[in-house]
A and B are shown apart, each in its own frame.
Chain A
């Protein structure tokens, strides 16, 4: 049975300087792919030759204020050998584009849609890159560090609110529209207002 470190070494042998690392932390092995444009190629090799047949997770990080701004993280696992390997790649804010790996693992389809929805990273070649958790037409990317925790008023009130709530204007009812979510929130409103 190979170990994660050996498999990371094999990946490095195949791709050379493209792969930096491997770093080990708490028993988990991380390698960084220097050129984000080649991530799909590296993933395809990891699946075909190294037995990483299960993509557990795909997450995105906003390194706000740093360059490159985005990091995309792939959690690979192999059912046959039971090893875990983390691939990371960095993307600049100007580019904000990574090739899709949905052709390698089908499960990446929804993961990439989520990363696009939350962070605004575009996965080129994705068969159906639509928002998945937020609604179609939502103008922001809420998991970015410059998006406030309290949310922003949406410019598309019709999409979120279709018709007045039965008790609209009452002390316990969220107001549609409004300046920000604090103004919509009933707990901060006094009935006299």
Chain B
């Protein structure tokens, strides 16, 4: 049988072949070991990009030498849209920013407009407590998905199934609270669409008792899992200074050891009355970011329990506490009044057609969302629509650090780093 000689195009392989053949010393060829760099296009449709993120990666062998993220595939022009509608009409668009935590977006947006109008401190206590419960339920929901998807991306599929079971229960709670599972649109300027339904507070309590068991299960599967630890520890290390310089917020910043949380630094709603801890990492690697999220969920459970205990009016609102501000020019009046009273009819007409009248001025309000600080900068020239509304999307800012973090890592680490960043492209691209 005749043997066939195969000519390798790669210079290194040629050198080895020459050495094996016992020929002359491969010297010259070995000096020329540096092959061409490979440019690899990852995304925009890739399972670990959780949406449509594209990264153009330059590889030397398996090592990344350069990474250029390309965002904008989900750009819908939310900021332009906001300039062309009234403040309340924009609430449904906030559902679609970080669509894993729509309740938290609703609350952040409503608070921004309310600060512009100067009524953010006049919200009834029941409204504030309910909003905190919403924010923290959203945080648990978003972190459960973030952790599940993170673990799944690096090979631990079971965790994903565990966390999704619990998310389903949160969706059910959202549905009974707002009427929608995903597109909640729960807040209105000056309050909410409705109070929580009978039995809802008790259902939340039952859910909390169940979800803490699930946290333990997920932790058992991951925290000391050799494969998981190997793939996350010392991967994607971000130093404290670098994290601040790149404007990271949320668990990604705290994973690097900075104890900055908007709920503590600039408390809004009733967070200053609540007792909770801010977990921080020590190394700033993917593993620390995972640990921070895990602990944040436990703290969220703690916060919700306190809120349920103190909920003004009691769980069924026997005290008939209001959930909206008393100003008839801000929130829609009750329907029976609209049909019988002239003043309420006019208010209803004005709010629906002209929007809530905001004074001229500008505010920036940042809220601690699951992904980081979601900020709304509103520039108003008076009237019912913003002149300019800028959304500071935490996912957008957090992704800006990728070109600095990815180089030097192996290709397989990209998945681990992206998973630990826990971003949502709907929010990044707006």
Q: How far is the CB of B61 from chain A (nearest CB, A)?
A: 26
Residue in contact with A55 in the complex, picked from B81, B247, B362, CB distance below 8 Å: B247
Known: A30-B362, A142-B77. A56 touches B247 (CB 8 A): yes
Which of A10-18, A106-114, A184-192 lines the interface with chain B?
A106-114
Whether B71 contacts A28 by the Cβ 8 Å rule is no
Binary interface profile of A, 15-26, with partner B (CB < 8 Å = 1, else 0)? 000000000011
Contact with B along A131-156 (1 / 0, CB 8 A): 11111000000110001010000000
Please choose the segment from B127-135, B202-210, B390-398, B410-418 that sits at the chain A interface, where 4 or more of its residues have CB less than 8 A away.
B390-398
How many Å lie between the Cα of A142 and that of B387 in the bound state? 15
CB contacts (< 8 Å) of B258 on chain A: these are 79
B363/A26 in contact, CB under 8 A = yes
Residues of chain B within 8 A of A73, CB atoms compared:
362, 377, 379, 390
In chain B between 73 and 89, which residues have their CB closer than 8 angstroms to a CB of chain A? Answer: 75, 77, 79-81, 84
Question: Which A44-92 residues have a C-beta within 8 angstroms of B?
Answer: 53-57, 59, 61-62, 73, 75, 79, 82, 84, 86
> Is B333 among interface residues, defined by CB-CB distance under 8 A?
no
* Contact of A56 with B392 in the complex, beta carbons under 8 Å: yes
Instruction: Establish whether residues B377 and A57, one from each chain, have CB atoms under 8 Å apart when the complex forms.
Output: yes
Contact B246 A107 (CB under 8 A): yes
In the complex, whether B115 has a CB less than 8 A from a CB of chain A is: yes
Most B Cβ at <10 Å: residue of A55, A118, A132: A132
Contacts of B72 in A (CB 8 A): 131-135
Tell me if B429 is interfacial: C-beta within 8 Å of chain A: yes
Q: Which residues of A contact B118 (CB under 8 A)?
A: 26
Which residue in chain B gives the minimum CB-CB distance to A105?
B245
| C-alpha spacing A110/B77, complex, angstroms | 17
Q: How far is the CB of B83 from chain A (nearest CB, A)?
A: 8
Q: Which of A57, A135, A143 contacts B392 (CB 8 A)?
A: A57
Please give the residue numbers on chain A whose beta carbons come within 8 Å of chain B beta carbons, in ascending order: 25-26, 28, 30, 53-57, 59, 61-62, 73, 75, 79, 82, 84, 86, 105-107, 109-111, 114, 118, 131-135, 142-143, 147, 149
Closest 9 CB pairs of A and B: A107-B247, A59-B390, A133-B72, A110-B400, A57-B392, A133-B75, A106-B245, A61-B388, A25-B361
